[in-house]
Amino acid sequence: MFTFVKILVVGSGAREHAIIRALVMGGDEVIAAPGNAGISREVPSVPLDIADSAQIAALAASEGVDLVVIGPELPLVNGAADAVRAAGIACFGPSAEAALLEGSKAFAKQVMAAAGVPTAMARVCTTMQEVDSALDGFGAPFVVKDDGLAGGKGVVVTEDRQSAADHAQQCLHRPGESAVVIEEYLDGPEVSLFAITDGVSVVPLQPAQDYKRVGEQDTGPNTGGMGAYSPLPWAPVDLVDDIVNRVIQPTVDRMRLDGIPFSGLLYAGLALTSRGLRVVEFNARFGDPETQAVLARLRSPLGPVLHAAATGTLAAAEPLHWSADAAVTVVLAAENYPASPVLGDVINGDERADALPDVQVLHAGTALAADGNLVSSGGRVLSIIGTGGDLTQARGRAYAGVAEISLRGSHYRRDIAQGKG
């Protein structure tokens, strides 16, 4: 029998806000670090440098939590989960070594090759000579990826060979980077599937689709994500099983057999191409903004399954129950996001929108100014989620929520959940 636990959630985005609401709804006691202005209205929040793994472990110990849930990739790649576990506290999130599945595209490609997981053909290049030959070999459209973490913005997909070569050159010259990945272009709709794992068993969540480009009709630069929806009515009925059997389970098994067990959340970003599904990327944590849509549909408590994954008991966990409803997330971004977001503008109407039926407003880049005003403090400011009987109803509610909110210079995409993104 599961008893409620005290959980520290590390991070400050709308993804963490969604995780926190799901945990609180399930009856758990939650503290957030560092959180944001919206999160601190709902649970106690304490300052934290998320890049400091020792500080995370010390906070977990001093607060006497039973479980730490790490939201973003940076602390995972830095070893925050290792530090928390070394302090004798359960942690939802992979070790630094296992988080390389996200932290190094070259490492992810090696694991996929060893596990027989379908992905784009790729070449890891360390010189411009290798880059030129790879670009010529694959042809246009060109796909050029920073090897390391880049917040979703390190990938350039372009028809223009010169821009492709320029991005590769920049990646090779980034401090601490020595490799750039050039790969085959994958055509077809993209799907995000999250799976909770303890390194052995796998529990998939519901699939979602994310909108990465800043502009409508997928124009402009890539962002951290401008919107998402779930479920995917157009997807094959066996999609989730197929991804678990061909991608998630083989990867989890390979990592364990290689002595780098992956526990936490394995996020597969896939393209459904004319030649079958292919992995575009792995991430080592919940995706943002898909999590906001996916968790809006979760009917089971979230705490027990995260705790089970963190303690190696996932096989015995209760199955998850999902609402048949649809959920749509629209991201409200600051002026000039993603290039150089303008911060410090006053936000109005978020609580009014959050109070609408079947609408939630989750905070990301928000802070309280000295005068008590809610102001923008990050590129992605708010996630507005609508739920309903189908995607049309859910998206109508999400945009009705957006309409309540004012933030000077802000922008959002009006085409979220309209067709395959």
Interface positions with ligand GLY (CB under 6 A) = 152, 210, 225, 283, 287-288, 290
d(CA 85, CA 242) in angstroms, rounded, equals 33
Binding at 186: pick from ligand AMP, ligand GLY, none (beta carbon under 5-8 Å per type)? ligand AMP
> From the CB of 190, what's the least distance to ligand AMP, in Å?
6
Binding at 185: pick from ligand AMP, ligand GLY, none (beta carbon under 5-8 Å per type)? ligand AMP
Which of 114, 360, 162 is closest to 259 using CA atoms? 114
Q: Hey, what are 22's tokens?
A: 């799901």
Interacting residue ranges for ligand AMP, rule: CB under 6 A:
120, 143, 145, 152, 155, 157, 183-186, 190, 212, 222, 269, 280-281
Cβ proximity to ligand AMP: between 212 and 297 the closer is: 212
> From the CB of 156, what's the least distance to ligand GLY, in Å?
16
> From the CB of 229, what's the least distance to ligand AMP, in Å?
15
Binding at 131: pick from ligand AMP, ligand GLY, none (beta carbon under 5-8 Å per type)? none
Cβ proximity to ligand AMP: between 159 and 390 the closer is: 159
Binding at 143: pick from ligand AMP, ligand GLY, none (beta carbon under 5-8 Å per type)? ligand AMP
d(CA 28, CA 304) in angstroms, rounded, equals 9
d(CA 353, CA 345) in angstroms, rounded, equals 18
Cβ proximity to ligand GLY: between 123 and 212 the closer is: 212
Cβ proximity to ligand AMP: between 85 and 109 the closer is: 109
d(CA 262, CA 270) in angstroms, rounded, equals 19
Binding at 288: pick from ligand AMP, ligand GLY, none (beta carbon under 5-8 Å per type)? ligand GLY
Angle at 184 between CA 180 and CA 186, to 5 degrees: 120
Rg (CA), the chain: 20
In single-letter form, the type of residue at position 22 comes to A
Cβ proximity to ligand AMP: between 222 and 410 the closer is: 222
Cβ proximity to ligand AMP: between 48 and 99 the closer is: 99
> From the CB of 254, what's the least distance to ligand GLY, in Å?
22
Which of 282, 324, 339, 237 is closest to 101 using CA atoms? 282
CA dihedral 290, 291, 292, 294 (to 10 degrees): 90
Closest residue by beta carbon to ligand GLY = 287
Binding at 190: pick from ligand GLY, ligand AMP, none (beta carbon under 5-8 Å per type)? ligand AMP
Write the DSSP symbol of residue 127.
S
Report the chain's terminal Cα–Cα distance, integer Å: 42
Measuring CA to CA, how many Å separate 178 from each of 128, 172, 181? 11, 5, 10
